[in-house]
Structure formats: C-alpha cells, structure tokens
Structure 1
C-alpha cells in the first residue's frame, strides 16, 4: 500500500495543531521538521476534500505552503529514530528514546518511544508541564493525566513518587503507545480510552494534569475542579500566552486560583490551586 507524503511548511506555533487536525482526518504518521511537519496518509484512505478544506482553513493564519508526493510504505520507527533527539528539562529529567544512551547525572530519566503520539517533551507545552511537575510534591499523591498522549506526564508523576496515576486519551493509537511507554518506565497502570466524560474518573485527585487545547480546557474546567479536593493542584497547558487571562477567568468560579504561570515560544502553562 502506497502512502501520500505532504511536506507542510507552517509557523511553528501551528505544528501541533495541524498534527492533531490531520490525525482526525486519517493521517497516521508525522515528523516534525525545521520548517513544519511531514504528514503521511495511506493513499487508499485519503480524503482529498477534507484535506483541502482543512488546509484552506489554516492557510493564512499558519502561513502554509506544501508539496505532495507518493512514497512506498516505510518503516516509521526508522524514520522517527532519524529525527528524534533526546531533551533535558533543566537538570530535573532527561527524556530519551530506547535507542539513546542513558545519562545517569540527571535526577530522573524517562524513556519515550513516541511513534505518532503527541508528547515527547520537545514541544514547549510538554516541556513546561514537566518543569511545573518538578515544582510540586507528588509523594504519596493521587494524580490524573487528562489527554495523556505518549504518557510522558503520567510517567513523570510516577517517578516523582505519586501513590497512584490514572491516564486516558481519546486516540486508540495513543493508548497503545502510552501503555508501551508505561511498561518501559515501570508504571503498572493502563491508559483508558475516551474523553473525560466517557472515562468518568472518580476523584479526589491531588493533582490533575491537562495539556490539551484552550477550547477543551475551558469546556472541562468544572470537571477538573470537581475532581480536586481543597488545596489540590491543576496544571494546564496547550494554549498561547495571550489566552492566559481567558483560562484564569474560567477557573475563578470553581475556586481555582493562580499559583504560577510560565510561557515558552508563546505557549503558556499554569499551576492553579483549589481553595
């Protein structure tokens, strides 16, 4: 089966958004590049009309240009191995793939084989979430990771001493990939499949992690609050720095107050606490 390859040049802040959107219309593999992303879809399952409509909707805002070609089916593991470099979050944690050498000088190490799932630590949102996790006491805590992707934040919670960790994602590929990464890092839990309303996790959780996007966070804010006890923490990312005020305004009616905010490459992250 042949694959269609699209080399998409775009603004950096739209890379992850486009990956998420393209995954929804049948694309099953992605590589981030210096200029944007390479996206791949099976030729037999490609929906030209939906693709053209999606690209048109982001064309101007993301400054998209693209080229298209046909390629034989490839070994995706080999492709991402060529393009996946390890990263360090300060001196807290070293995130690497299984084919990279370990670095024992770091306090923690996470092994992530990302395949096509989201969350390798390279994106500014994941980087900031990991950093903020390192600033909170997880010892003996109950932690929920909403929209877990590769499972990297759930794994970080486990390494930081959480008593129990629950995680889920709406994408079955992410669930399979996340469970593989849990096994690589000694995390015994299994990732659930579905939205937060479908999975229906049962609180209280001492820490809730949600690195998704602005609209989902706004829609689910009340649910996060219900899952937290007084003094519980909510860590958010997946939105731009200019959206911080909207998130804080939405959180206020549910007793969620700002503890800390940060931004990197115009992507923002928040630590909120329920009072």
Structure 2
C-alpha cells in the first residue's frame, strides 16, 4: 500500500494540535521535525476534502507551509529509530525505545517501540496522564486502560504496582504493537480488540484511564463511572483546555467530582473521583 506524505512546516505550538487533528481524519503515522511534522496517510483511505478543510482552518494561525508527495510502504520502526528521542516525566519515569540506553535517576522506566507518535509520552495528553498516574496509589489496584494505543499507560499502572491491568483498543494494529510493548515491559496481560461496549470489561475497577477524544469520552463517560468502585479514580485526557467545562459537567452528573486538572500545550487532563 502506498502512502501519501505531507511535509508540514508550522509554528511549534501547533505541532501536537495538528497531529491530533490529522489522526482524526485517517492519518496513522507522524514524525516531528525541526520545522514541523511529517504526516502519512494510506492513499486508499485519504479524505482530500477533510484534509483541505483542516489545513485551511489552521493555515493562517499556524503559518502552515505544505509539501505533498507519495512514498511506498514505510518501515516505520526504522524511521522512528532515526527521529525518536526518549522523554522524561519529572523523576517518575523515563520513556525510551529499545535502541536507547537506560538512564539513572528515575523511579521507573518504560520501553516503547512505537509505530506512530501517539502513546510514546511525547504528546501532551500522554505526558499528563503519566504524571497524574504517578500521583495516585496503584498498589494492589485493578486498573482499566481504555483506548490503550501503544499500551504505555497500562505499563505505567503495572510499574506502579497494580494487581491487575486490563487494556484494549479499537485498532488491531495498535493491539499488536501494544502487546509487543507489554512483552518488553514484563506484562503478561494481553490487549483486547474493540470498543468498550464490545470488550465489555467486568468491573469494578479502582482506576480507569481514558486518553481518547472529547466525543468518545462524553459518549462513554457513563460506562466509566459504572465500572468504578466507590472512591475510585477516573483519569481523562485527549481534549483541549476549552473542553474541560463540558467534560466536568458530564462527569459531575454521574457522581464524579473533579480532584485535579492540568494543561500542557492547550491539551487538558483531569483526575476525577467517584462518590
């Protein structure tokens, strides 16, 4: 399958926003560059109209300059090895690929061999979710990771002492990659395939993690609340700071109260607790 390649020069503050928006319209791989991002979409699934509308909406604010090309199927692991740098979330965790050396001075280390930029810790939503996980007691807890992606949040829960971790994603490609990363980090659990309604996880859970997007979170919020134990925690991200009010309103109506919110690069994350 051939891929369309878009080299997008843009202001730095818009890189992660564009990655998130492009992922919503079918782009499945990204590389951050000095000037912006390289974005890739399967040619057979490319939606030209949606792409043009998206670029037009950000062109002026992000100062976008665009170059389009076509390339054969890419060895994404090879490309990531050229471009992927480790990240640190405070002294909590060092996230690296298998081709990087370990670093001292961190309480935990996660090895992620990514095939796209989501779920590596680089994105502001994942970074904040990891940080919030580090603020909660996971020892002996049951944890559910909804829309697990590379599996990084499930792995973090395991490292923080969770007794049981359940994870799933709607994309079979993510499930394969997630299970590879589980193996790298000593998890014996397997990632499931499907939506939360299809997988039908059996609660109760002490902690539910959901880093997806606003519309899915609002649609599934009642399910998350129903799966939590009393005083259990729901960690959410994947939405912009201007969406916090809508998410908190929906959560409050289901007996969840806001414990903490954070923001990074215009992306927000919440810790909520069930009554």
> Relative to 1, partners in 2 of residues 1:2 and 1:210: Cα closer, same or farther, differing over 3 Å?
closer
CA contact (8 A) 1:15 1:36 kept: no
More moved, 71-80 vs 186-195: 71-80
Deviations along 1:135-189, whole A, 9 cap, x unmatched? 0000000000000010000000000000000001111110000000000000111
Residue 118 of structure 1: how far off its partner (Å): 1.9
Aligned residue in 2 for 1:56: 52
Q: Does 1:18 align with 2:21?
A: yes
Q: Check conservation: 1:31, 1:83, Cα contact below 8 A.
A: yes
Bigger mean CA offset, 104-113 vs 148-157? 104-113
Query: Is 1:149 paired with 2:149?
Result: yes
Q: Is the 8 A contact 1:117 1:149 kept in 2?
A: no
Q: How does 1:186-201 map to 2 (within 5 A)?
A: 186-201=186-201
Q: Secondary structure at the match of 2:20?
A: helix
> Is the contact made by 1:87 and 1:121 (CA closer than 8 Å) also made in structure 2?
yes
Counting only pairs closer than 5 Å after superposition, residues 27-176 of structure 1 correspond to structure 2 as 27-43=27-43, 45=44, 47=46, 50=47, 52-63=48-59, 64-116=64-116, 118-176=118-176
Going from structure 1 to structure 2, the CA distance change for 1:137 and 1:174 (only over 3 Å counts) comes to same
Q: CA deviation at 1:41?
A: 4.1
CA separation of 1:87/1:117 partners in 2, compared to 1, >3 Å: closer, same or farther?
closer
Q: Secondary structure at the match of 1:201?
A: coil
Give structure 1 stretches of 5+ with no counterpart.
Answer: none
- RMSD of aligned alpha carbons: 1.8
Matches for 1:219-234 after TM superposition, within 5 Å: 219-234=219-234
Q: Deviations over 1:38-97 (max 9, x none)?
A: 233455x354xx2x2111231233225421123344432111111110000000000000
SS at structure 1 position matched to 2:230: coil
Q: Deviations over 1:89-110 (max 9, x none)?
A: 0000000000000013211000
Distance, in Å, in 2 between the alignment partners of 1:237 and 1:35 is: 26
The CA deviation at 1:28 is: 4.6
SS in 1 for 2:225: helix
Pairwise CA distance, 1:115: 1.0
Aligned length: 268
Check the 8 A contact 1:120/1:126 in 2, yes or no.
yes
TM-score for the superposition, normalised by structure 2: 0.92
**Counterparts of 2:147 and 2:190, CA distance in 1:** 13
**Structure 2: tracts of 5 or more residues without a match:** none
Asked whether the equivalents of residues 235 and 272 of structure 1 are also in contact (C-alpha less than 8 Å), the reply is: yes
Q: Shift of the alpha carbon at 1:13?
A: 4.3
